[in-house]
């Protein structure tokens, strides 16, 4: 018997089932289909300005920084300012995201490079798929638009998110992922990012910048 | 379950083996508190709830003892024990012991429903809000694990202590952390138990109250034994003794004859 | 299967740990840090307790339908271009992993933190076959340098102090300036970051564990704060996910419920910094990510726990809250437990996985204080399960003879109230008289364990029942 068959047989023996029970199959299919939500904290169940304010507070709680601009055209200046304020070089890597590419980078003196990171970039910008107000989390999806390596290799990561994409809770983001990719399908990677990289492994002292970015800066576009 | 109105509740006192053997004054303090609260108290002939066997994995002996205890106490309106651990054994674990025996399960459930730890019975069942007692000085209180986590005992003893004239309660750090007793654990894993009670003793000492109280004699003997071994002058008593105003007996582990204690070697 | 465990020597391990000054100092960090942070995180979320119920129910539901959810998961992984392998035990898992690494021509394998990889001792196996495994979680990296097992399931190096880490870095990172300053923890972190960055970029295969597997989508989820798990899985050409079969949850919604209790219970964070949902290998248009995606599903004893009282243990989501709140863990640390899983969860799980004859001490070394159960995010009744192990040991006559005879002696009297009264009356009168002057005993026959660390308070002398009979005879209503 193959390992697979053996394991299934043992599971079924232990559970006292044979695997072909219609009711059990129905229950499982139904749950996979309906994906019931469970308990959703009230905290995030706010809208408009209140949701944006919660999101920003939670982003800051996660030790990231956040700034708000009123149109995509203002994003490059905001990023240039962030880099300048932290004495960081005026370089920036990004993927093929059309929203980012359409921004007026030539208004700044930033030197822009494109494509995934190979580990030598100091700064990168990604466009988020969405935000989650409940915990100040950014949701990013992999693809040529926003390569996953940009989320982890650079020292300083900047994430742009549209205010209208900031949801109350994780579940709302899953609904959008299903809408975009089809029920039951996923992009290769969905990254939830909540603050900069950190470790507490040495004497349980919190230190930022373990393997991922030392700084995370969020730019919210409120257009 | 509640007794008919205008009649005094008949309470069976489950004195617990440690109180029976080591410190009967705690049992008499419990009797006084219950009688003051309007109960008729009886103490039928009894031995042990079976917890040592239960926690050693000996279900057979545990069941034998549980059946005996259920028979002994089934006729009372309530069963009250001056111990969160032993009351917890009856309340939280007896039903589970008879999972596969519907007849005994029903009896165990019935007993569990009417069994209470002393301070919880006074406060939660009888609605007692104050006691008539005086105690001069500061005390600190240790929350024994079973009472705290199996029976939700936390506010009840504190509420009653607040009504004792002259008494102030000083909370220690980590009052809800185990003292390291754990029944046979204290003997089987004495090195670890010793380390845990050492941490507890440091918290007790840091609270700087001259008296330590708790609701379980096992924990009290453990802490009192540690404090006296380390030469710490903290007096240790069961909370019932203070609530009943019955503190004539020397504290746990203290000499009975003051004069002769000088001659100790 | 040969398992390298010192669990049978738990008592000796514990005694050594109690005398280890460095360890005792480091353990102080567990007591202070984790407990307060968890409490604050729980207090900040009014729904926390109902989320715990929800988490428990999701896991119970999944376990009851585990065969079907595994089938659904397998199908989805394959549909997304990934491979699923099943391993009955550690040896099969090792063989599968080695074969994948060989196929990838791997020389260096980076690893994210994974307890199941410790359980199957994969590092030892890879090294024996000429492949270099590199742990990338900072704590795991440190203990790998020291040749140790993790002493905690989420903080593997919690038993160490910064000065010890500094010594290890100086010993191993010999290519760096010997005079460099490493006196601050942040300098240690920076050095590890630089050293490991090169390993990440050079690795041929990345191995991660999985916090959850999602049946709905064929997704594996990892949770880290460092980002090491992500660098492990997106940079090499091949990503291998190791997971035990009970990591399955039905849907993304179910995973989200569990994620809401995981970080709060573990580190007191709202959510960990990086929660990563991976589904299959890189897509045709992708600019990065692994080209091969393998999942190794490992049973190693789990399927036999289903349908027994230990099934509840399979709800465990490895947050570490039980050990963070355990007075025994606080006293002796994780290594004393002698195998991969320490603390209360280890005391229940270890006997299931390596045998109660090996790990019999673990479920006994508990005061049953119940603090672990009170913080468990999936409400596993850990003390009850430890007691079940004690029952099995008693049934199988694995309980020490002294304990058995002691119980028999005590049980004999406890079942005979009249004899009990007579015997205890005499015994307590004697003890009471003997202890009268000092009120306590510093030594008693048969009570050496007790009197080694504390006095034994003397009884008052007369038993309650004797006095009650004397004073109240005929008075009781």
Cβ <8 Å between C189 and A207 = yes
Residue B183 CB-half CA count within 13 A: 21
Of the candidates B53, B146, B257, which has its C-beta nearest C411's C-beta? B53
Q: Cα–Cα distance between C371 and C84 in angstroms, integer?
A: 38
pLDDT at C477: 43
Domain containing B26 — which CATH number?
A: 3.40.50
Residues B61 and B141 in one domain: no
pLDDT for the residue B260: 41
Domains of chain A from N-terminus onward: 1-34 (no CATH), 43-221 (3.40.50.10420)
Q: Is beta strand A215-221 parallel, antiparallel or unpaired with respect to A156-162?
A: parallel
B188–C403 CB contact, under 8 Å:
yes
Instruction: Provide the 3-class DSSP secondary structure of residue C337.
Output: helix
- Report residue C436: phi and psi, to 5°: -55, -45
Residue C307 has pLDDT above 80, yes or no: yes
Chain A positions in Cβ-Cβ contact with residue C139 (cut-off 8 Å) = 199, 201
Number of structural domains, chain B?
A: 2
The answer to whether residue C28 neighbours chain A at the CB level (below 8 Å) is no
Q: Is residue B5 part of a domain?
A: no
Instruction: Please give the average per-residue pLDDT across C183-211, as a whole number.
Output: 96
If you count residue pairs, one on A and one on C, with CB atoms under 8 Å apart, how many are there? 272
**Structural domain ending residue among the three candidates B70, B100, B124:** B124
- Terminal-residue alpha carbon distance, chain C: 67
Question: For testing the chain A interface, which of C32, C112, C230, C258 should be mutated: the one with the most A CBs within 10 Å?
Answer: C230
Band of residue C401 on the pLDDT scale cut at 50, 70, 90: confident
* C254/A19 touch (CB, cutoff 8 Å), yes or no: no
DSSP codes of every residue in C203-264 = -SEEEE--SEEETTTTEEEEEESSSHHHHHHHSSSEEEEEEEGGGEES-HHHHHHHHHHHHH
Residue B1, domain member (yes or no): no
The pLDDT tens digits for C325-375 are: 999 999 999 999 999 999 999 999 999 999 999 999 999 999 999 999 999
User: Are the beta carbons of C200 and A193 separated by less than 8 Å?
Assistant: no
Same domain, B32 and B112: yes
A162 exposed, middle or buried (CB, 10 Å; 0-12, 13-18, 19+)?
Answer: middle
Show which of residues 435-464 on chain C sit within 8 Å of chain A, judged by CB atoms.
none
The pLDDT tens digits for C17-51 are 999 999 999 998 888 789 999 999 999 999 999 99
Which stretches of chain A score pLDDT less than 70?
A: none
B263 belongs to a structural domain = no
Rounded to whole angstroms, the Cα distance separating C255 from C203 reads 30
Q: Give domain status of residue B259, yes or no.
A: no
HSE toward the beta carbon, residue C427, CA cutoff 13 A: 10
A-chain CB neighbours of C212 within 8 Å are none
pLDDT given for residue C409 in this prediction: 86
Q: Cα C284 to the chain's mean position, in Å?
A: 40
Q: Quote the pLDDT of residue C475.
A: 55
Minimum mean pLDDT among B4-8, B213-217, C93-97, C279-283: which range? B4-8
* More confident call, C475 vs C291: C291
Distance CA C143, CA C165 (A): 9
Looking at residue B264, its pLDDT comes to 37
Residue B3: what pLDDT?
53
Scan for tokens 């960090």, then name that residue: C29
Segment C133-146 mean pLDDT: 97
Q: What is the CATH number of the domain that holds B144?
A: 3.40.50.11810
**Residues ≥6 apart with Cβ < 8 Å to C277:** A186, A189, A190, A191, A192, C214, C217, C219, C220, C221, C252
C86's enclosing H/E stretch is strand C83-87
Q: A175 Cβ partners below 8 Å, 6+ apart?
A: none
Clarify whether residues B224 and B178 are in a common domain.
yes
Q: How far A50 CA lies from chain C's nearest CA (Å)?
A: 18
**CB spacing of C457 vs B198 below 8 angstroms:** no
Alpha helices, DSSP H only, in B15-58? 17-22, 24-36, 51-55
**Nearest chain A residue (CA) to C300:** A7
Check if B55 contacts C (Cβ < 8 Å): yes
So what's the pLDDT on residue C434?
A: 86
pLDDT for C474 beyond 70: no
Token couple for B138:
């500061």
Is the distance from CB of A83 to CB of A113 less than 8 angstroms?
Answer: no
Adjacent-strand bridge partners of C441 = C456
Is B215 part of a structural domain of the chain? yes
Question: Same domain for B189 and B218?
Answer: yes
> Which of B83, B98, B124 represents a domain boundary (last residue)?
B124
Is residue B260 in some structural domain? no
Pair (B83, B192) in one structural domain: no
Give yes or no: residues B74 and B161 share one domain: no
Domain check: are B150 and B91 in the same one? no
Q: Do residues B134 and B120 both lie within one domain? A: no
Per-residue confidence at C476, pLDDT binned at 50, 70, 90? very low
Are residues B97 and B158 both part of a single domain?
no
Q: Is residue B163 part of a domain?
A: yes
pTM, entire model: 0.95
Residue A166 C-alpha, separation from nearest chain C C-alpha, in angstroms: 17
Does C3 score more than 80 pLDDT? no
Are B133 and B250 part of one and the same domain? yes
Distance of CA B25 to the CA centre of its chain: 12
C450 chain-B contacts, CB cut-off 8 A: 186-187, 190, 225
Domains contained in chain C, CATH given: 16-304 (3.40.50.10420), 418-472 (no CATH)
H, E, C per residue of C52-70: HHHHHHHHHHHHHCHHHHH
What is the CA A181 to chain-centroid distance, rounded?
16
Domain end point (choices B124, B148, B166) = B124
Residues B43 and B85 in one domain: yes
Would the CB atoms of B20 and C424 count as touching at under 8 Å?
A: yes
Contact C462, C432 (CB under 8 A): yes
Q: Which residues, at least 6 apart from C122, have a Cβ–Cβ distance to it below 8 Å?
A: C93, C94, C97, C133, C207, C242
Query: Which residues of chain B, if any, have pLDDT below 50?
Result: 259-265
One domain for residues B76 and B136: no
pLDDT in tens, A34-67: 999 999 999 999 999 999 999 999 999 999 999 9
Compute the average pLDDT of residues C79-86.
Answer: 98
Say yes or no to pLDDT of C143 above 50: yes
Residue B261 lies in a domain: no
Range of the domain at B40: 10-124
Spell out which residues of chain A touch residue C279, defining contact as CB-CB under 8 Å: 185-189
With touching defined as 3 or more inter-chain CB pairs under 8 Å, the answer for chains A and B is no
List CB contacts (< 8 A) between C193 and chain A: 209-211
Question: C444: pLDDT confidence band, cut at 50, 70 and 90?
Answer: confident
Please report the DSSP string for C379-422 in residue order: ---HHHHHHHHHHHHHHTT-S-HHHHHHHHHHHHHHT-HHHHHH
């Amino acid at each position: 018997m193959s390992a697979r068959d053996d394991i299934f047989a043992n599971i079924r023996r232990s559970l006292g089932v044979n695997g072909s029970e219609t009711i059990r199959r129905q229950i499982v299919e139904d749950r996979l289909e309906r994906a019931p939500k469970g308990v959703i904290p009230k905290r995030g169940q706010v809208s408009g300005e209140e949701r944006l304010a919660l999101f920003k507070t939670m982003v800051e709680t996660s030790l990231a920084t956040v700034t708000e601009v009123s149109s995509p055209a203002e994003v490059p200046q905001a990023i240039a300012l962030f880099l300048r304020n932290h004495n960081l070089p005026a370089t920036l890597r990004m993927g093929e995201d059309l929203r980012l590419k359409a921004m007026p980078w030539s208004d700044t003196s930033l030197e822009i490079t494109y494509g995934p990171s190979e580990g030598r970039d100091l700064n990168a910008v990604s466009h988020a798929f969405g935000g989650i107000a409940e915990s100040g989390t950014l949701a990013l999806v992999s693809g040529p638009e926003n390569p996953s390596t940009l989320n982890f290799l650079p020292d300083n990561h900047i994430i742009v998110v549209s205010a209208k994409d900031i949801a109350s809770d994780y579940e709302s983001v899953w609904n959008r992922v299903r809408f975009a990719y089809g029920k039951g399908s996923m992009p290769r990677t969905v990254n939830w990012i909540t603050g900069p990289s950190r470790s507490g492994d040495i004497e349980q002292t919190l230190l930022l910048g373990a393997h991922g970015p030392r700084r995370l800066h969020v730019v919210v576009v409120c257009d | 379950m509640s007794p008919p109105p205008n009649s005094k509740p008949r309470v069976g006192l489950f004195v617990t083996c440690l109180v029976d053997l080591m410190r009967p004054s705690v049992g008499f303090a419990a009797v006084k508190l219950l009688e003051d609260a309007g109960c008729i108290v009886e103490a039928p002939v009894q031995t042990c709830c079976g917890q040592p066997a239960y926690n050693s994995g000996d279900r057979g002996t545990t069941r034998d003892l549980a059946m005996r205890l259920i028979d002994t106490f089934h006729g009372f309106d309530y069963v009250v024990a001056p111990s969160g651990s032993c009351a917890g054994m009856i309340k939280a674990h007896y039903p589970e012991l008879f999972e596969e025996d519907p007849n005994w399960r029903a009896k165990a459930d019935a007993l569990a429903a009417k069994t209470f730890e002393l301070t919880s019975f006074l406060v939660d069942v009888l609605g007692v809000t104050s006691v008539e007692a005086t105690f001069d000085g500061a005390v600190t209180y240790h929350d024994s694990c079973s009472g705290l986590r199996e029976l939700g005992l936390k506010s009840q003893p504190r509420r009653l202590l607040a009504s004792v004239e002259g008494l102030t309660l000083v909370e220690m750090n980590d009052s809800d952390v185990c003292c390291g007793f754990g029944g046979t654990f204290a003997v089987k894993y004495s090195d670890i138990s010793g380390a845990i009670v050492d941490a507890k003793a440091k918290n007790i000492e840091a609270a700087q109250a001259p008296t330590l109280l708790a609701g379980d004699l096992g924990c009290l003997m453990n802490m009192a034994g540690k404090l006296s071994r380390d030469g710490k002058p903290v007096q240790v008593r069961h909370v019932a003794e203070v609530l009943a105003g019955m503190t004539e007996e020397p504290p746990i582990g203290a000499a009975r004859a003051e004069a002769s204690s000088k001659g100790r070697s | 299967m040969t398992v390298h465990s010192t669990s049978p020597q738990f008592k000796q391990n514990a005694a050594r740990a109690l005398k280890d000054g460095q360890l005792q100092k480091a353990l102080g960090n567990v007591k202070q840090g984790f407990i307060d942070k968890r409490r604050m995180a729980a207090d900040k979320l009014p729904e926390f307790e109902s989320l715990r119920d929800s988490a428990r129910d999701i896991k119970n539901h999944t376990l009851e339908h585990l065969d079907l959810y595994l089938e659904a998961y397998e199908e989805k992984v394959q549909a997304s271009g990934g491979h699923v392998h099943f391993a009955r035990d550690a040896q099969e898992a090792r063989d599968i992993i080695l074969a994948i690494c060989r196929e990838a021509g791997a020389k260096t394998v980076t690893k994210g933190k994974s307890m199941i990889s410790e359980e199957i001792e994969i590092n030892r196996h890879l090294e024996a076959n000429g492949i270099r495994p590199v742990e990338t979680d900072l704590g795991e990296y440190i203990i790998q340098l020291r040749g140790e097992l993790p002493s905690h399931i989420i903080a593997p190096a919690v038993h160490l102090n910064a000065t010890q880490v500094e010594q290890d870095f100086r010993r191993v990172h010999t290519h760096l300036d010997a005079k460099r300053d490493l006196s601050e923890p942040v300098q240690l972190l920076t050095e590890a970051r630089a050293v490991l960055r090169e390993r990440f970029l050079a690795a041929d295969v990345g191995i991660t564990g999985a916090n959850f597997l999602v049946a709905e989508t064929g997704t594996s989820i990892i949770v880290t704060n460092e980002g090491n798990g992500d660098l492990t899985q997106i940079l090499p050409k091949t990503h291998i996910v190791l997971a035990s079969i009970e990591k399955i949850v039905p849907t993304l919604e179910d995973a989200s419920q569990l994620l809401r209790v995981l970080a709060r219970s573990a580190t007191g964070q709202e959510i960990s910094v990086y929660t990563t949902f991976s589904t299959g290998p890189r897509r045709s248009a992708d600019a990065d990510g692994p080209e091969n995606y393998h999942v190794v599903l490992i049973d190693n004893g789990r399927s036999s726990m289903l349908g027994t009282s230990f099934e509840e243990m399979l709800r465990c989501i490895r947050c570490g809250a039980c050990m963070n709140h355990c007075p025994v863990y606080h006293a002796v640390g994780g290594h004393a437990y002698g195998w991969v899983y320490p603390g209360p969860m280890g005391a229940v799980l270890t006997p299931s996985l390596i045998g109660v004859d090996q790990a019999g001490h673990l479920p006994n070394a508990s005061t049953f204080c119940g603090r672990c159960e009170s913080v468990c995010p999936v409400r596993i009744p850990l003390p009850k399960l430890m007691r079940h192990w004690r029952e099995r040991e008693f049934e199988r006559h694995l309980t020490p003879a002294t304990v058995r005879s002691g119980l028999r002696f005590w049980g004999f009297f406890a079942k005979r109230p009249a004899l009990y009264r007579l015997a205890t009356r005499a015994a307590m009168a004697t003890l009471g008289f003997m202890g009268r002057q000092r009120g306590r005993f510093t030594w008693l026959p048969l009570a050496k364990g007790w009197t080694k660390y504390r006095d034994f308070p003397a009884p008052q002398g007369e038993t309650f029942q004797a006095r009650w009979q004397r004073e109240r005879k005929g008075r009781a209503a």
